[in-house]
C-alpha cells in the first residue's frame, strides 16, 4: 500500500475518533450527581473513547482498502479466481477428509451431545433445506420471493390437520405435503408470471401474509392463534418412541433429507433446467428469445422451492408437536432470505454455511443475550460490506469437452 494512503487513513481515523469523542462527551465524560450536587469529569473515558474509535476506524479503513484492491485484482485478473475459503473447499485433497469428518460427526452427534444440542442442530438442518429451497427460486431463477414461509406453513399445517382429523402418520403425510407444496407453489406462480423484481417481491410478501392471516383467523379450520397441539411424532412401523428417542429419530430423518436436498439441488444447478433458470435470472428477454419457455421455467422454480419448504414444514410440525401461526411470520421469510443472500446466491455450499451461521450463532450467543441481536446485525452488515457476493461465491461448472466429437 502506498504511504500516502496510510497517511490518509490515519487522518480519516483521527478525525472520526475526535468527532465521536466530542459527540459522546456529555454521556461518557461528565457525570452529574444530583444528590451530592457534584460534577465529576471522567477524562480517562475520553481517552478510551479516542483510542478505541481510532483503532476501530483504522482497522475499518484498512479492510476497505484491502477489499478495493481485491476487487481491482479480480477485475484485472482471471474472473473465476476464488477466495481463500473457496480454494480450501475446492482442493480435492482436503474436501474428501473434510466431508468424511463432517459426516462422521453428524452421524454420531445425537449420541455424543445432549438432546438440547440435537434439537438445535435439527432446526439448523431444517433451515439448511429451507435455504436450499429458496436458493432455487431466488438464487438460481432470480425470482425474489418474500413469502417463502407460506409454503413452510402449508406443510406444517398439512401434517397437523391431517394428523388431527384423520390420524395420518408422518410418513403418509410427507409425500402429501410435498404435493401440496408444489400445488401452492404453482398457485403463487401463475398470477406472478408477468412480474419481476420489486413487484414480484411485494406480491409474494402479500401471499405470505395471506396464508398466515388465514391460519390466524379461520378458527374452525386451523384453530386460530392457539394452534394445533399434540401432533404425533414420526413413528416407524408402529413403534412408539420416547421423546428422546424421537428426537434422535427426527435428527436422522433430517440428516437424510438434507443430504437428499443437497444432492438434488447440486445436480439441478448444473443441468439443462438449472441453466435455463440462470438464463432467466440474467436476462428474461434474451432467455425467451433463445427458445426457453419462461413460463415453464418460472413455475418449475416456484414449485420446486415450495415443495422443499412444505416437506420441511411437515418435519417441523412433527418435531415440535405443535404449530401455530406465530411460527410463520415475515421474520421467518426474511431469515431464510438472509441465509441465501449471506451464504451466496446460487451457491449450495454457501447456503449451507449461511444457515448454520445464522441459526447457530444466535442460539449459542444466548449467554450474552442482550447483545445477541446487536452482534447478529453487525455480522450481517460486515458480510455484506466485505463479501457482497456472499460467503461463498457461486461458481459455474467447467465442462469437460470431447474435442474429437464433431
Partner 1 sequence: MEQTNTAVLSVRNMSMNFGGLRALSEVDLEVRQGEVVALIGPNGAGKTTFFNCITGIYTPTEGQVLAYPRDGKEKRINGMRTNLVCELGMARTFQNIRLFPSMTALENVMIGRHCRTKAGILGAILRGPGTRREEQDVVDRSYQLLKKVGLEQVANEYSRNLPYGAQRRLEIARALATDPFLLLLDEPAAGMNPQETLELKEMVIKIREEFQVSVLLIEHDMKMVMSLSDRIYVMEYGRVISTGTPAEVSADPQVIRAYLGEESDA
List contacts with partner 1 (CB under 8 A): 79-80, 263-264, 267-268, 271-276, 278-279, 282-283, 285-294, 300, 304, 396, 398-403, 405-406
Q: How far apart are CA 315 and CA 228, in angstroms?
A: 15
Q: How far is the CB of 287 from partner 1 (least distance, A)?
A: 7
Q: How far is the CB of 406 from partner 1 (least distance, A)?
A: 7
Q: How far apart are CA 320 and CA 325, in angstroms?
A: 14
Q: How far is the CB of 283 from partner 1 (least distance, A)?
A: 5
In terms of CB distance, is 69 or 267 closer to partner 1?
A: 267
Which parts of 77-196 fold into alpha helices (H)? 84-90, 92-112, 115-134, 149-166, 170-189
Q: Which residue has the cell 410478501?
A: 205
Q: How far is the CB of 24 from partner 1 (least distance, A)?
A: 44
Q: How far is the CB of 392 from partner 1 (least distance, A)?
A: 15
Q: How far apart are CA 134 and CA 138, in angstroms?
A: 6
Q: How far is the CB of 76 from partner 1 (least distance, A)?
A: 10
Left if phi > 0, otherwise alpha if psi is -120 to 50, otherwise beta: which for 38? beta
In terms of CB distance, is 53 or 261 closer to partner 1?
A: 261
In terms of CB distance, is 257 or 278 closer to partner 1?
A: 278
Q: What share of the chain is helix, strand, coil (3-state, %, to 5)?
A: 75, 5, 20
Q: How far apart are CA 171 and CA 194, in angstroms?
A: 37
In terms of CB distance, is 72 or 290 closer to partner 1?
A: 290
In terms of CB distance, is 34 or 79 closer to partner 1?
A: 79
CA angle (270 as vertex; 264, 273 as ends), nearest 5: 80
In terms of CB distance, is 88 or 286 closer to partner 1?
A: 286
Amino acid at each position: 500500500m502506498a504511504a500516502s494512503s496510510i497517511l490518509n487513513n490515519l487522518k480519516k481515523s483521527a478525525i472520526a475518533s475526535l468527532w465521536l469523542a466530542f459527540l459522546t462527551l456529555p454521556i461518557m465524560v461528565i457525570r452529574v450527581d444530583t444528590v451530592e450536587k457534584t460534577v465529576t469529569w471522567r477524562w480517562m473515558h475520553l481517552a478510551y473513547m479516542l483510542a478505541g474509535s481510532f483503532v476501530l476506524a483504522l482497522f475499518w479503513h484498512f479492510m476497505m482498502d484491502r477489499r478495493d484492491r481485491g476487487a481491482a485484482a479480480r477485475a484485472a485478473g482471471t474472473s473465476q479466481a476464488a477466495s481463500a475459503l473457496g480454494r480450501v473447499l475446492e482442493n480435492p485433497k482436503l474436501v474428501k477428509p473434510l466431508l468424511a469428518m463432517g459426516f462422521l460427526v453428524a452421524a454420531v452427534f445425537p449420541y455424543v451431545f445432549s438432546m438440547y444440542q440435537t434439537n438445535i442442530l435439527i432446526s439448523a438442518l431444517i433451515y439448511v433445506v429451507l435455504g436450499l429451497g429458496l436458493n432455487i427460486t431466488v438464487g438460481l431463477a432470480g425470482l425474489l420471493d418474500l413469502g417463502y414461509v407460506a409454503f413452510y406453513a402449508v406443510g406444517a399445517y398439512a401434517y397437523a390437520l391431517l394428523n388431527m382429523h384423520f390420524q395420518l402418520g408422518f410418513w403418509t403425510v410427507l409425500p402429501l405435503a410435498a404435493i401440496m407444496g408444489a400445488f401452492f407453489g404453482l398457485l403463487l406462480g401463475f398470477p406472478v408470471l408477468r412480474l419481476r423484481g420489486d413487484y414480484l417481491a411485494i406480491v409474494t410478501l402479500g401471499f405470505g401474509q395471506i396464508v398466515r392471516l388465514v391460519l390466524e383467523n379461520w378458527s374452525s379450520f386451523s384453530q386460530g392463534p392457539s394452534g394445533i397441539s399434540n401432533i404425533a411424532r414420526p413413528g416407524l412401523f408402529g413403534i412408539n418412541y420416547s421423546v428422546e428417542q424421537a428426537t434422535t429419530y427426527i435428527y436422522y430423518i433430517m440428516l437424510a433429507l438434507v443430504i437428499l436436498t443437497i444432492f438434488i439441488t447440486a445436480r439441478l444447478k448444473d443441468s439443462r433446467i438449472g441453466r435455463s433458470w440462470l438464463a432467466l435470472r440474467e436476462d428474461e428477454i434474451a432467455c425467451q428469445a433463445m427458445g426457453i419457455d419462461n413460463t415453464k421455467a418460472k413455475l418449475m422454480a416456484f414449485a420446486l422451492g415450495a415443495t422443499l419448504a412444505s416437506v420441511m414444514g411437515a418435519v417441523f410440525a412433527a418435531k415440535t408437536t405443535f404449530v401455530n401461526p406465530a411460527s410463520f411470520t415475515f421474520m421467518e421469510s426474511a431469515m431464510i432470505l438472509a441465509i441465501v443472500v449471506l451464504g451466496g446466491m446460487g451457491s449450495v455450499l454457501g447456503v449451507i454455511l449461511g444457515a448454520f451461521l445464522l441459526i447457530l450463532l444466535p442460539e449459542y450467543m444466548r449467554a450474552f443475550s442482550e447483545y445477541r441481536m446487536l452482534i447478529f446485525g453487525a455480522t450481517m452488515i460486515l458480510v455484506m460490506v466485505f463479501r457482497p457476493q456472499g460467503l461463498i461465491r457461486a461458481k459455474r461448472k467447467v465442462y469437460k469437452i470431447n474435442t474429437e466429437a464433431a
